[in-house]
C-alpha cells in the first residue's frame, strides 16, 4: 500500500547505498531516548515499496532491521519472530514519515516498531511476547477503538505520542497482557466529551481479573486534557494487581484510579488543574506515596457503590465495588483528601477500615459519608501522628520536552 513520494524515497535509498540487505548497516537518526531502545542490526534493508516489504517480512530473521521509506504502508500480520537478544525491527527511515494505514497484528515474538506513524484509524494488536513500540505517533481519532491492545507478556510502549477519541492502551490481562511497560509517553487531547470506556490506559478489563498479577509499570508519562466533558471518569483505570504508576504528571484530566486490585503503588505522581479528577483508590491494600494533588481530589473510597445487598444503593444487578481497606497514603500534599463514602447520598455509611495516613500536607483528611459520620474507630488518629517513613519531597513536573518521540533525554 506504499503511496506518495516513491521517486524521492527511491532516490534516497539508492543514494544511501543500502537498498538491499547489508550486514550491520545503520540508516537514519532517532532522538536520544528512542535510540537507546534501538538494538544493533545484524542485517538491514531499506524498503522502497510494498512488494519489497512483503518479501522482507516473509524472509526476516532475528536481528534484521526493515527500514521503511516515507509513504503509507500496510504491515498486515507479522508472524515472524526475533529473539530476546536479536529482535526484528521495523522502523522509519525518517521518523514518523512512514505511516501505517492498516491495523497491524503482531503475532510473532520479539518484534519492535520504531519511529512509525499510526494513521488516524490504525490500531495495533500485540499477540506476541516481548514486543516494543518506540517513538511512534498515534494521532486520532480512532473513535471507540483501542489503539494498542497487548495480549501477551512484555509489551513496551516507550516515548510515543498519542491522541484520539478511543482508548489508547489496554492491557488485556485476561489474554496474558501482563508485565507491560509504558514509559516517557505524551497523552493529550484524548476522548473529549467521550463515552464511557475511553480511558487513556487500562490495565485489565474486568473485576474478575482482580487477582491477576499484571506486574505492569507506567512511568515518566505526561497526560494533558484527557477525558474532559464526557462520561468517562478514569484517565488510568487499574483493574488488576501489582501495578506501579510513578513520576507521571496529570494536567486537566480525570482520575488515576485503582478500581479493582491490590498491592498497587502510585508514587511521585502530580495531578494539577483537575477539579473533576485526582487519585482514587477503590480496593484494599494499595499504596499512594509522595504524591501531590492540587485542585483535584485524593480519595480513598469505601464502597460508595456497593449493591443494595451489601448496604449500598447500587442496583442489585450491577457489580459491587470493593472498599479500600488498609490503604496506605504516605507523604503527600493534597488540597482535598477524603476517606470513606461521599458521593452516593442514599448509601449506608462506609469507611475505609485500617487506612493509614502518614506525613501528608495540606490539612487533615475528611472522613465519612456526606450525610453521616464515619466510624472513627476504623481510622485511629494515633496512626496519623506516627513519623513519616521518608521525608516529603515535591514530585517533579514533566514537560512536553521530556516525553514523546522528540524527547531529548
d(CA 171, CA 150): 5
| pLDDT tens, position by position, 108-152 | 999 999 999 988 777 788 999 999 999 999 987 666 567 888 989
Q: How far is CA 133 from CA 34, 280, 282, 395, in A?
A: 10, 29, 31, 27
b/e per residue 90-101 (b: at least 16 CB within 10 A): bbbbbbbbbbbb
The DSSP bridge pattern shows strands 22-23 and 43-47 to be antiparallel
What is the reported pLDDT for 307? 38
* 142 contacts: CB under 8 Å, gap ≥ 6: 120, 121, 122, 123, 164, 165, 166
Q: CB of 338 within 8 A of CB of 300?
A: yes
User: What are the extents of the domains in the chain?
Assistant: 6-402
State which H helix or E strand residue 11 sits in.
helix 6-16
What pTM did the predictor assign?
0.85
* Percent of the chain scoring above 90 in pLDDT: 47
Q: For the residues 53-57, what does the mean pLDDT come to?
A: 96
In a 3-state reduction of DSSP, which class is residue 20? coil
Q: 239, 264 in Cβ contact below 8 A? A: no
Q: Is residue 261 pLDDT above 90, yes or no? A: no
CA 76 from chain center: how many Å? 24
The stretch 60-86 carries a mean pLDDT of: 96
Identify the band that residue 15 occupies on the pLDDT scale cut at 50, 70 and 90: very low
For the 6-402 domain, the top CATH level (class) is mainly beta
Tell me: the pLDDT tens digits for 381-398? 444 444 555 677 889 999
* pLDDT at 373 exceeding the cut of 50: no
CA separation (Å) from 188 to 67, 161, 250, 276, 302?
28, 8, 10, 17, 31
pLDDT at 80: 96
C-alpha R_g of the chain = 23
CA–CA dist 194, 368 (Å, integer) = 31
Amino acid at each position: 500500500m506504499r503511496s506518495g513520494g516513491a521517486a524521492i524515497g527511491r532516490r534516497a535509498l539508492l543514494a544511501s547505498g543500502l537498498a538491499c540487505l547489508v550486514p550491520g548497516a545503520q540508516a537514519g537518526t532517532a532522538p536520544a531516548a528512542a535510540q537507546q531502545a534501538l538494538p544493533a542490526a545484524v542485517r538491514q534493508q531499506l524498503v522502497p515499496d510494498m512488494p519489497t516489504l512483503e518479501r522482507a517480512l516473509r524472509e526476516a530473521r532475528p536481528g534484521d532491521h526493515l527500514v521503511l521509506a516515507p509513504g503509507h504502508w500496510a504491515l498486515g500480520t507479522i508472524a515472524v519472530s526475533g529473539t530476546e537478544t536479536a529482535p526484528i525491527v521495523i522502523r522509519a527511515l525518517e521518523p514518523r514519515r512512514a505511516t501505517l494505514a492498516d491495523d497491524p497484528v503482531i503475532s510473532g515474538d520479539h518484534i519492535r516498531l520504531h519511529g512509525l506513524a499510526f494513521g488516524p484509524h490504525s490500531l495495533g494488536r500485540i499477540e506476541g511476547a516481548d514486543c516494543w513500540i518506540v517513538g511512534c505517533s498515534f494521532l486520532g481519532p480512532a473513535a471507540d477503538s483501542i489503539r494498542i491492545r497487548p495480549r501477551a507478556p512484555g509489551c513496551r510502549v516507550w516515548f510515543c505520542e498519542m491522541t484520539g477519541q478511543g482508548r489508547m492502551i489496554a492491557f488485556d490481562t485476561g489474554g496474558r497482557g501482563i508485565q507491560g511497560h509504558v514509559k516517557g509517553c505524551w497523552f493529550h487531547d484524548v476522548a473529549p466529551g467521550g463515552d464511557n470506556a475511553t480511558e487513556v490506559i487500562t490495565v485489565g478489563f474486568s473485576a474478575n481479573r482482580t487477582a491477576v498479577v499484571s506486574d505492569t509499570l507506567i512511568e515518566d508519562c505526561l497526560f494533558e486534557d484527557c477525558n474532559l466533558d464526557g462520561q468517562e471518569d478514569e484517565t488510568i483505570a487499574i483493574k488488576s494487581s501489582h501495578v506501579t504508576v510513578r513520576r507521571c504528571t496529570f494536567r486537566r484530566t480525570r482520575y488515576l484510579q485503582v478500581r479493582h486490585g491490590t498491592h498497587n503503588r502510585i508514587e511521585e505522581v502530580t495531578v494539577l488543574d483537575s477539579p473533576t479528577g485526582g487519585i482514587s483508590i477503590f480496593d484494599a491494600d494499595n499504596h499512594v506515596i509522595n504524591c501531590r494533588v492540587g485542585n483535584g481530589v485524593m480519595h480513598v473510597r469505601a464502597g460508595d457503590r456497593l449493591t443494595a445487598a451489601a448496604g449500598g444503593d447500587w442496583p442489585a444487578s450491577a457489580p459491587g465495588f470493593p472498599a479500600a481497606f488498609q490503604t496506605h497514603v504516605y507523604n503527600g500534599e493534597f488540597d482535598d483528601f477524603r476517606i470513606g463514602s461521599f458521593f452516593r447520598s442514599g448509601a449506608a455509611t462506609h469507611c475505609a477500615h485500617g487506612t493509614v495516613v502518614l506525613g501528608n500536607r495540606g490539612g487533615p483528611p475528611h472522613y465519612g459519608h456526606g450525610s453521616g459520620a464515619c466510624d472513627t474507630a476504623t481510622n485511629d488518629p494515633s496512626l496519623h501522628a506516627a513519623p513519616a517513613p521518608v521525608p516529603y519531597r515535591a514530585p517533579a513536573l514533566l514537560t512536553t520536552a521530556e516525553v514523546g518521540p522528540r524527547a531529548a533525554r
